Amino acid sequence: MKVEAAERTNLVQEYFFSAKLKQIDEMRKAGADIINLGIGSPDLPPSPATINKLTGEAARPDVHGYQSYTGIPALRKAMSDWYLKYFKVNLNPDGEILPLIGSKEGIMHISMAFINPGDEVLVPDPGYPTYSSATKLAGGIVRTYDLKETNGWLPDFNELETSDLTRVKLMWVNYPHMPTGTRSSEILFERIVKFGQKHNILICNDNPYSFILNDDHLSILSVTAAMDIALELNSLSKSHNMAGWRVGMVAGNKEYIQTILKVKSNMDSGMFMPLQAAAVEALANDNDWYRNLNDIYSRRRRFAEEIMDTMGCSFNPSQTGLFLWGRLPDNIKSCGDYVEEILQKCHVFITPGFIFGKNGNRYVRISLCSTEEKLGKAKKRISDHFNKNI
Q: What are phi and psi of 231, to 5 degrees?
A: -120, 155
Q: What are phi and psi of 198, to 5 degrees?
A: -60, -40
Q: What are phi and psi of 202, to 5 degrees?
A: -70, 120
Mean pLDDT, rounded, of the chain: 94
388 has a pLDDT exceeding 90 = no
Given this model, what pLDDT does residue 1 score?
Answer: 62
Q: How do residues 232-278 score in pLDDT, each as one tens digit?
A: 999 999 999 999 999 999 999 999 999 999 999 999 989 999 999 99
CATH class of domain segment(s) 7-45+288-388: alpha beta
DSSP 347: -
* Residue 48 preceded by cis peptide, ω within 30: no
Given this model, what pLDDT does residue 19 score?
Answer: 77
In angstroms, rounded to a whole number, what is the distance separating the alpha carbons of residues 3 and 216? 52
In angstroms, rounded to a whole number, what is the distance separating the alpha carbons of residues 129 and 123? 9
Q: Which residues contact 288 (CB under 8 A, 6 or more apart)?
A: none
- CA triplet 193, 199, 200: central angle to 5 degrees? 80
Given this model, what pLDDT does residue 142 score?
Answer: 97
Chain region(s) in the chain for CATH 3.40.640.10? 62-283
Residues facing residue 325 across a β-bridge = 365
Chain region(s) in the chain for CATH 3.90.1150.10? 7-45+288-388
> Which CATH number does 62-283 carry?
3.40.640.10
94 has a pLDDT exceeding 60 = yes
Q: How do residues 128-181 score in pLDDT, each as one tens digit?
A: 999 999 999 999 999 999 999 999 999 999 999 999 999 999 999 999 999 999
Q: Which residues contact 115 (CB under 8 A, 6 or more apart)?
A: 121, 135, 138, 139, 140, 169, 170
353-368 burial string, b = 16+ CB within 10 Å, else e?
Answer: bbbbbebbebbbbbbb
Given this model, what pLDDT does residue 390 score?
Answer: 54
Q: How do residues 274-312 score in pLDDT, each as one tens digit?
A: 999 999 999 999 999 999 999 999 999 999 999 999 999
Residues facing residue 100 across a β-bridge = 248
Q: How do residues 31-62 score in pLDDT, each as one tens digit?
A: 999 999 988 899 999 999 999 999 999 999 99
Report the number of secondary-structure helices (H) and strands (E) in the chain.
13, 12
Given this model, what pLDDT does residue 113 score?
Answer: 97
In angstroms, rounded to a whole number, what is the distance separating the alpha carbons of residues 256 and 229? 9
**Model's pTM, two decimal places?**
0.93
* Residue 179 preceded by cis peptide, ω within 30: yes
When computed from its CA atoms, the radius of gyration of the chain, rounded to whole angstroms, is 21
- Report strand pairing: 168-173 vs 120-125: parallel
Neighbours of 304 (CB within 10 A): 25
